[in-house]
Homo-oligomer: A and B are copies of this chain.
Amino acid sequence: MKAIQDHYPPTFAHCYGCGPANPFGLHLKSYLREDQTEARFTPDQRYSGGVPDNVYGGMIASLLDCHGTASAAAFAYRARGREMGDSGPPIRFVTASLHINFRKPTPLGEELHITGTLKSLDGRKASILLSLSARGEECAQGEMLAVELKS
């Protein structure tokens, strides 16, 4: 099954966090499963927080941001009865705002599980609820307002 990001048009595939065309990047892969999107990612030891046991905040924000815009695109395709990768114009979203609650330290060296659910979709605006967990415990929550780019 191809990831949402693997359907991004080549001109839009350069993101450090999730772009398949970025040779240096993190290559986050997000998938739409039933009513939720999900991604799994294990940050390597470079991405330490202030103390080496924890993931740094910027990584958490990056994962939520990239997963959020991918989620918005996937939910918009579904709402319009379309399939990602079909012959229609690509649907792409960018972040207008992102709010993150850091609930507890995120352990480094663990697989992180990121989910997205659709709160609302209104014209070109999508609101996405995000969650990041490790070892089954939620470490961060996010809420994103994403805006669809005009094709």
Contact = CB atoms under 8 A, between A and B. Distances in A.
Interface of A: 8, 11-17, 19, 22, 24-25, 46-52, 56-59, 61-63, 65-66, 69, 92, 94-102
Contacts of A14: 48-52
A78 to B, nearest CB: 21
B98 A8 contact: no
A15 B108 CA distance: 12
A24 B47 CA distance: 8
A107 B47 CA distance: 24
Contacts of A95: 57, 100, 102
Nearest to A68: B57
A76 to B, nearest CB: 16
Given A17-B58, A19-B50, A56-B66, 19 more contacts: A8-B50, A14-B51, A15-B56, A16-B47, A16-B48, A16-B58, A16-B59, A17-B56, A25-B46, A50-B92, A57-B95, A58-B58, A58-B62, A58-B65, A59-B62, A61-B100, A97-B99, A98-B99, A99-B99
B22 A48 contact: yes
A50 B96 contact: no
